[in-house]
Protein backbone atom coordinates (compact mmCIF):
# COMPACT_ATOMS: atom_id res chain seq x y z
CA UNK A 1 0.00 0.00 0.00
CA UNK A 2 0.91 3.67 -0.18
CA UNK A 3 3.36 4.96 2.38
CA UNK A 4 3.61 8.37 4.01
CA UNK A 5 3.92 11.12 1.43
CA UNK A 6 5.20 14.67 1.89
CA UNK A 7 5.20 17.74 -0.31
CA UNK A 8 7.06 19.60 -1.52
CA UNK A 9 10.23 17.51 -1.55
CA UNK A 10 12.33 20.67 -1.63
CA UNK A 11 11.49 24.24 -0.66
CA UNK A 12 13.73 27.27 -0.97
CA UNK A 13 12.45 30.47 0.60
CA UNK A 14 13.68 33.85 1.65
CA UNK A 15 14.15 34.85 5.26
CA UNK A 16 10.94 36.29 6.69
CA UNK A 17 8.55 34.42 4.39
CA UNK A 18 5.97 31.89 5.59
CA UNK A 19 6.07 28.27 4.41
CA UNK A 20 3.63 25.36 4.54
CA UNK A 21 4.71 21.73 4.48
CA UNK A 22 2.23 18.94 3.86
CA UNK A 23 2.04 15.35 5.08
CA UNK A 24 -0.31 12.57 3.96
CA UNK A 25 -0.16 9.69 6.46
CA UNK A 26 -0.79 6.02 5.79
CA UNK A 27 -4.52 5.35 5.57
CA UNK A 28 -5.94 4.14 8.87
CA UNK A 29 -3.07 5.45 11.00
CA UNK A 30 -4.46 7.44 13.90
CA UNK A 31 -1.17 9.00 15.01
CA UNK A 32 0.88 11.54 13.06
CA UNK A 33 4.23 13.07 14.02
CA UNK A 34 6.49 15.82 12.76
CA UNK A 35 10.24 15.69 13.31
CA UNK A 36 13.10 17.89 12.16
CA UNK A 37 16.57 16.74 11.11
CA UNK A 38 19.37 19.26 11.04
CA UNK A 39 23.14 18.94 11.00
CA UNK A 40 23.70 20.43 14.40
CA UNK A 41 20.73 18.94 16.27
CA UNK A 42 20.17 15.50 14.78
CA UNK A 43 16.58 14.27 14.69
CA UNK A 44 14.20 16.06 17.05
CA UNK A 45 10.51 15.74 17.76
CA UNK A 46 8.25 18.70 16.93
CA UNK A 47 4.56 17.82 17.35
CA UNK A 48 2.32 14.75 17.70
CA UNK A 49 -1.35 14.18 16.84
CA UNK A 50 -3.27 11.19 18.22
CA UNK A 51 -6.83 10.73 17.03
CA UNK A 52 -9.10 13.54 18.22
CA UNK A 53 -6.96 14.41 21.24
CA UNK A 54 -5.29 17.77 21.62
CA UNK A 55 -1.88 17.66 19.91
CA UNK A 56 1.33 17.41 21.91
CA UNK A 57 3.20 20.57 20.89
CA UNK A 58 6.02 20.20 23.41
CA UNK A 59 8.73 19.96 20.74
CA UNK A 60 7.89 23.10 18.75
CA UNK A 61 10.95 25.41 18.98
CA UNK A 62 9.08 28.71 18.88
CA UNK A 63 5.63 30.22 18.38
CA UNK A 64 6.49 30.73 14.71
CA UNK A 65 5.82 27.01 14.26
CA UNK A 66 2.31 25.56 14.15
CA UNK A 67 0.61 22.50 12.74
CA UNK A 68 -2.87 21.27 12.11
CA UNK A 69 -4.40 18.00 11.12
CA UNK A 70 -7.66 18.11 9.20
CA UNK A 71 -10.23 15.32 9.36
CA UNK A 72 -7.79 13.08 11.21
CA UNK A 73 -5.73 12.66 8.06
CA UNK A 74 -3.62 15.24 6.20
CA UNK A 75 -1.41 17.52 8.27
CA UNK A 76 0.18 20.87 7.48
CA UNK A 77 3.20 22.27 9.31
CA UNK A 78 3.44 26.05 9.01
CA UNK A 79 6.53 28.11 9.76
CA UNK A 80 5.97 31.85 9.90
CA UNK A 81 8.65 34.48 9.34
CA UNK A 82 11.26 31.87 8.49
CA UNK A 83 14.80 32.23 9.80
CA UNK A 84 18.01 30.70 8.48
CA UNK A 85 18.18 28.37 11.49
CA UNK A 86 14.90 26.83 10.30
CA UNK A 87 16.78 25.24 7.39
CA UNK A 88 16.51 21.48 7.88
CA UNK A 89 14.77 18.37 6.62
CA UNK A 90 11.24 18.10 8.02
CA UNK A 91 10.07 14.53 8.39
CA UNK A 92 6.55 13.27 8.94
CA UNK A 93 5.66 9.85 10.36
CA UNK A 94 2.45 7.97 11.11
CA UNK A 95 1.51 4.93 13.17
CA UNK A 96 -1.41 2.93 14.46
CA UNK A 97 -1.71 4.39 17.97
CA UNK A 98 1.29 3.35 20.13
CA UNK A 99 3.10 1.33 17.51
CA UNK A 100 5.77 1.24 14.83
CA UNK A 101 6.26 4.60 13.13
CA UNK A 102 6.64 4.88 9.36
CA UNK A 103 8.35 7.90 7.87
CA UNK A 104 7.86 9.90 4.70
CA UNK A 105 10.72 11.04 2.45
CA UNK A 106 10.90 14.46 4.05
CA UNK A 107 10.84 18.07 2.87
CA UNK A 108 14.21 19.81 2.61
CA UNK A 109 13.73 23.45 3.59
CA UNK A 110 16.39 26.01 2.75
CA UNK A 111 16.00 29.55 4.06
CA UNK A 112 18.20 32.06 2.26
CA UNK B 1 16.33 13.86 30.83
CA UNK B 2 15.69 10.96 28.44
CA UNK B 3 18.69 10.51 26.15
CA UNK B 4 19.64 7.96 23.52
CA UNK B 5 23.28 7.48 22.53
CA UNK B 6 24.87 5.56 19.70
CA UNK B 7 28.53 4.62 19.62
CA UNK B 8 30.49 4.59 17.38
CA UNK B 9 29.38 7.47 15.18
CA UNK B 10 30.98 5.79 12.16
CA UNK B 11 32.07 2.26 11.34
CA UNK B 12 33.83 0.73 8.34
CA UNK B 13 33.98 -3.04 7.82
CA UNK B 14 34.90 -5.41 4.97
CA UNK B 15 32.12 -7.21 3.15
CA UNK B 16 30.99 -10.46 4.77
CA UNK B 17 31.79 -9.44 8.32
CA UNK B 18 29.21 -9.81 11.10
CA UNK B 19 28.81 -6.59 13.05
CA UNK B 20 27.03 -5.10 16.04
CA UNK B 21 25.70 -1.55 16.37
CA UNK B 22 25.13 -0.22 19.87
CA UNK B 23 22.41 1.96 21.34
CA UNK B 24 22.08 3.04 24.96
CA UNK B 25 19.25 4.87 26.71
CA UNK B 26 19.05 6.57 30.09
CA UNK B 27 15.49 5.83 31.22
CA UNK B 28 14.38 2.25 31.92
CA UNK B 29 10.71 3.28 31.53
CA UNK B 30 11.04 2.54 27.86
CA UNK B 31 7.87 1.59 25.95
CA UNK B 32 9.51 0.38 22.77
CA UNK B 33 12.69 0.78 20.76
CA UNK B 34 12.84 1.09 17.01
CA UNK B 35 15.78 0.72 14.63
CA UNK B 36 15.86 2.64 11.36
CA UNK B 37 18.04 2.84 8.31
CA UNK B 38 18.61 6.13 6.47
CA UNK B 39 20.25 6.38 3.06
CA UNK B 40 21.79 9.73 2.03
CA UNK B 41 19.13 12.28 1.13
CA UNK B 42 16.31 9.89 1.98
CA UNK B 43 13.77 9.40 4.75
CA UNK B 44 13.90 6.74 7.45
CA UNK B 45 13.14 3.08 6.77
CA UNK B 46 11.90 1.10 9.76
CA UNK B 47 13.92 -2.07 10.30
CA UNK B 48 12.77 -3.56 13.60
CA UNK B 49 10.54 -2.62 16.53
CA UNK B 50 11.07 -4.17 19.96
CA UNK B 51 8.35 -3.79 22.57
CA UNK B 52 9.49 -3.36 26.19
CA UNK B 53 8.18 -6.84 27.02
CA UNK B 54 10.34 -8.42 24.32
CA UNK B 55 14.05 -9.22 24.38
CA UNK B 56 14.73 -9.46 20.66
CA UNK B 57 13.34 -9.29 17.15
CA UNK B 58 14.69 -10.78 13.93
CA UNK B 59 14.22 -9.90 10.29
CA UNK B 60 16.39 -11.65 7.72
CA UNK B 61 20.05 -10.90 8.45
CA UNK B 62 19.10 -8.42 11.17
CA UNK B 63 18.61 -9.16 14.86
CA UNK B 64 17.86 -6.52 17.45
CA UNK B 65 18.00 -7.07 21.19
CA UNK B 66 16.75 -5.05 24.14
CA UNK B 67 18.04 -5.11 27.72
CA UNK B 68 16.07 -2.66 29.83
CA UNK B 69 18.05 -3.31 33.00
CA UNK B 70 21.31 -2.24 31.41
CA UNK B 71 19.74 0.43 29.18
CA UNK B 72 21.10 -1.09 25.99
CA UNK B 73 19.95 -2.29 22.60
CA UNK B 74 22.07 -3.84 19.88
CA UNK B 75 21.49 -4.35 16.17
CA UNK B 76 23.33 -7.35 14.80
CA UNK B 77 23.91 -7.52 11.04
CA UNK B 78 25.06 -10.89 9.71
CA UNK B 79 27.20 -11.33 6.62
CA UNK B 80 27.33 -7.61 5.81
CA UNK B 81 27.01 -6.46 2.19
CA UNK B 82 27.96 -3.19 0.45
CA UNK B 83 24.21 -2.50 0.13
CA UNK B 84 24.01 -2.34 3.92
CA UNK B 85 26.01 0.91 3.83
CA UNK B 86 23.79 3.60 5.38
CA UNK B 87 23.21 5.43 8.65
CA UNK B 88 21.50 3.36 11.31
CA UNK B 89 19.42 5.13 13.93
CA UNK B 90 17.84 3.82 17.09
CA UNK B 91 14.96 5.61 18.76
CA UNK B 92 13.01 5.03 21.96
CA UNK B 93 9.52 5.85 23.13
CA UNK B 94 8.78 6.15 26.82
CA UNK B 95 5.70 5.12 28.81
CA UNK B 96 5.44 8.51 30.47
CA UNK B 97 6.13 10.72 27.47
CA UNK B 98 3.54 10.10 24.77
CA UNK B 99 4.62 8.20 21.69
CA UNK B 100 7.20 10.54 20.24
CA UNK B 101 10.57 9.04 19.37
CA UNK B 102 13.79 10.13 21.05
CA UNK B 103 16.60 9.47 18.59
CA UNK B 104 20.25 8.61 18.96
CA UNK B 105 22.79 10.39 16.80
CA UNK B 106 23.16 7.42 14.47
CA UNK B 107 26.00 5.18 13.32
CA UNK B 108 27.22 5.70 9.77
CA UNK B 109 28.12 2.26 8.38
CA UNK B 110 30.36 1.65 5.38
CA UNK B 111 30.70 -1.91 4.09
CA UNK B 112 33.64 -2.18 1.69
CA UNK B 113 33.57 -4.69 -1.17
pLDDT classification of A52: cutoffs 50, 70, 90:
confident
What's the whole-number mean pLDDT along residues A12-23?
Answer: 98
* Mean pLDDT, chain A, whole residue set: 93
| Closest Cα in chain A, distance from residue B46 (Å) | 6
Check if the beta carbon of residue B75 is closer than 8 Å to that of residue B23.
Answer: yes
pLDDT tens for B77-102 read: 999 999 999 999 999 998 766 788 99
Q: Mind listing the pLDDT tens digit for each residue in B14-49?
A: 999 999 999 999 877 888 999 999 999 889 999 999
Q: Which of A19-23, B28-32, B58-62 has the lowest mean pLDDT?
A: B28-32
C-alpha dihedral, A90 to B36 to B50 to B23, nearest 10°: -100
Select from B64, B112, B104 the least CA-distant residue to B85. B112
- Considering only CB atoms, B34 lies closest to which of A59, A101, A104, namely A101
Q: Measured between beta carbons, which residues in chain B are less than 8 angstroms from residue A33?
A: 99-101
Name every residue whose Cβ is closer than 8 Å to that of residue A11 and which is 6 or more positions away in sequence: A19, A21, A107, A108, A109, A110
What mean pLDDT comes out for the span A42-59?
90
Q: Please say if the pLDDT value at position B63 is more than 70.
A: yes
For B101, which of A45, A50, A56 is closest by C-beta distance?
A45
Report DSSP state, residue A62.
S
| A67-71, A79-83, A85-89: least confidently modelled range | A67-71
Asked whether B89 and B35 are in contact (CB, 8 A), the reply is yes
Measure in Å the smallest separation between the Cα of B6 and chain A Cα atoms.
Answer: 12
Residues 6+ apart with CB under 8 A from B63: B56, B57, B75, B76, B78
Rounded distance between C-alpha atoms, residue A6 and residue A23, angstroms = 5
Do residues B61 and B79 make contact, with C-beta atoms less than 8 angstroms apart?
Answer: yes
Residues of A in contact with B45 (CB under 8 A): 103
Report the percent of chain A where pLDDT is more than 90. 79
The answer to whether B43 contacts A103, with C-beta atoms less than 8 Å apart, is yes
Asked if A98 and B36 come within 8 Å (Cβ–Cβ), the reply is no
Distance, CA of A49 to CA of B16 (rounded, Å): 42
> Residue A19: is its pLDDT beyond 70?
yes
Amino acid sequence: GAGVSQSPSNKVTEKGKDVELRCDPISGHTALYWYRQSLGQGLEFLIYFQGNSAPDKSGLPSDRFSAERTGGSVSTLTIQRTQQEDSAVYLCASSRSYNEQFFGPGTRLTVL
Amino acid sequence: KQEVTQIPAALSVPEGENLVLNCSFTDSAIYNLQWFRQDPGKGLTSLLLIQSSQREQTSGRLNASLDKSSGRSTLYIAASQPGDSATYLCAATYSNAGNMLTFGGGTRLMVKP
